[in-house]
Amino acid sequence: MNTFTDQDRAFMQRALWLAQQGEFTTTPNPSVGCVLVKKGNIVGEGFHFKAGEPHAEVMALRMAKDQAAGATAYVTLEPCSHFGRTPPCAKGLIEAGVSKVICAMRDPNPQVAGKGLALLEEQGIKTQVGLCEEQAEWLNRGFLRRMRTGLPFVRLKMAMSLDGRTAMANGESKWITSDLSRIDVQQERAKASAILSTSATVLADDPMLNVRWEQFPSSVQQRYPQNHIRQPVRIILDRQHLLSPQHKLFQQPSPIWLVSHKPRDLSAFSDCCEEILIDEKLDFLPQLMQELGKRQINSIWVEAGATLAGALIEAKLVDELLIYSAPKLLGDQARGLCKFTHLQHLADAPKWELYSVEAIGDDVKSVYLPLLHRE
């Protein structure tokens, strides 16, 4: 049975904080932090910044240099044991002579899945697992979802008035929520591997659906050099081929995947635009999610209208619901949050549990998790 001290928890909390520093840039890799401790003092620490660059353990070992021998490593995810874009971290810890490794959680990646811990133990290094595991899982819920199910973690964002309305009857919706809420949305977007929307939303609002890094707090901007800025893939459902290259969406250099049942001529579109074709004989949204999982999309941020929102919820594909509520009333003629095709009885209404509530200026951000989760 694992027993952890208050000091262990404090060092793992530091490792988790470090891991969070890479939450905007690491996808499709997980966010990982590592702290090396010797005689009660931190001698090295680091986090994984971007796929293809050194992992957290390597960064911590570089800082510690020869002080790593005999140290305890606190790592938010089991050290890898395989050669990928970078050498295995378990091997690096062994060669550095650490005496103990404490992990927040095992890595569900089939290429690791306990092999990293086994390799350490074979070399006489003590290991423990499970310290602050729940926090570590939440931080990497997208990566874990894909590793365990092959599907991305879906986060559905909606903005509404106090009476649950998203737009006036004529479609006017700019802006229900405040500037502060929209800045918060930018940071939530930046965490996602991809942003999912529809041609209907693009035709109505002509959005760019990108991350505006200039709106981030200066403290965040300073952490991310210009060459590390990452834009999520923009995925647009456009089954009727309604979009044209003139939309603002296509004026931005980040990748765009257009989803349809049949191919189109993309020669007039930007080079960063490509197609995903879905078999029209199969369930559209589940098949799309499977395809996105194969393409290493860990998490999806959904910004769309009531039709797609309702369809995703009815298909039980939403893992997290984020609602930004503004202190306004729009009345019964305004447009509602989501459209359900099959819901007829109150007893069958999708049920959610409140995960967190946060005041953002005069607005309220509420996060909900489905009571009947699909995993």
Which amino acid, 211?
V
Of the pLDDT bands very low, low, confident and very high (cuts 50, 70, 90), residue 372 is low
Backbone angles phi, psi at 322, to 5 degrees: -115, 120
State the Cα–Cα distance between residues 328 and 334, nearest whole angstrom: 12
Question: Residues 259-268: pLDDT tens digits?
Answer: 999 999 898 8
Among candidates 178, 142, 141, 155, which has minimal Cα distance to 303? 155
Mean pLDDT of 144-157: 95
Same domain, 170 and 133: no
Q: What is the dihedral of CA 54, 57, 59, 65, to 10 degrees?
A: -130
Of the pLDDT bands very low, low, confident and very high (cuts 50, 70, 90), residue 375 is very low
Question: Residues 65-97: pLDDT tens digits?
Answer: 889 999 999 999 999 875 555 668 888 899 999
Instruction: Give the domain CATH number at 170.
Output: 3.40.430.10
- On the 0-12 / 13-18 / 19+ scale of CB atoms within 10 A, 106 is middle
Please check if 273 is assigned to a binding site: no
Same domain, 247 and 323: yes
Please check if 320 is assigned to a binding site: no
Same domain, 229 and 110: no
Same domain, 109 and 180: no
Please check if 272 is assigned to a binding site: no
Which amino acid, 243?
L
Backbone angles phi, psi at 333, to 5 degrees: -90, -15
State the Cα–Cα distance between residues 105 and 262, nearest whole angstrom: 43
Please check if 310 is assigned to a binding site: yes
Please check if 151 is assigned to a binding site: no
Higher model confidence: residue 344 or residue 159?
Answer: 159
Q: How many residues does the chain have?
A: 375
329 DSSP assignment = -
Instruction: Give the domain CATH number at 122.
Output: 3.40.140.10
Residue 86 has what pLDDT? 61
pLDDT at 294 over 60: yes
Residue 347 has what pLDDT? 80
The answer to whether residue 291 is domain-embedded is yes
Same domain, 171 and 124: no
Please check if 159 is assigned to a binding site: yes
The answer to whether residue 143 is domain-embedded is no
Residue 374 has what pLDDT? 46
Q: Where are the alpha helices (DSSP H) in the chain?
A: 6-20, 56-64, 89-96, 115-122, 133-139, 141-149, 179-191, 199-205, 218-223, 284-294, 306-314
> Which of 23, 45, 53, 57 is labelled catalytic?
57
Residue 146 has what pLDDT? 95
Mean pLDDT of 355-363: 94
The answer to whether residue 167 is domain-embedded is yes
Q: Residue 129 in contact with residue 78, Cβ under 8 Å?
A: yes
The pTM of the full predicted model, rounded to 2 decimals, is 0.89
Among candidates 169, 178, 168, which has minimal Cα distance to 325? 178
**57 annotated active-site:** yes
The answer to whether residue 375 is domain-embedded is no
Which structural domain, as residue segments, surrounds residue 35? Answer: 6-138
User: What three-state secondary structure class fits 269?
Assistant: coil
Concatenated DSSP letters for 106-119? Answer: ----TTTTTHHHHH
Q: Which residues pair with 49 in a beta bridge?
A: none
Q: Residue 78 in contact with residue 106, Cβ under 8 Å?
A: yes
Same domain, 175 and 85: no
Q: How many domains does the chain have?
A: 2
Which amino acid, 83?
F
Please check if 80 is assigned to a binding site: yes
Q: What are the structure tokens assigned to 17, written together?
A: 């904080």
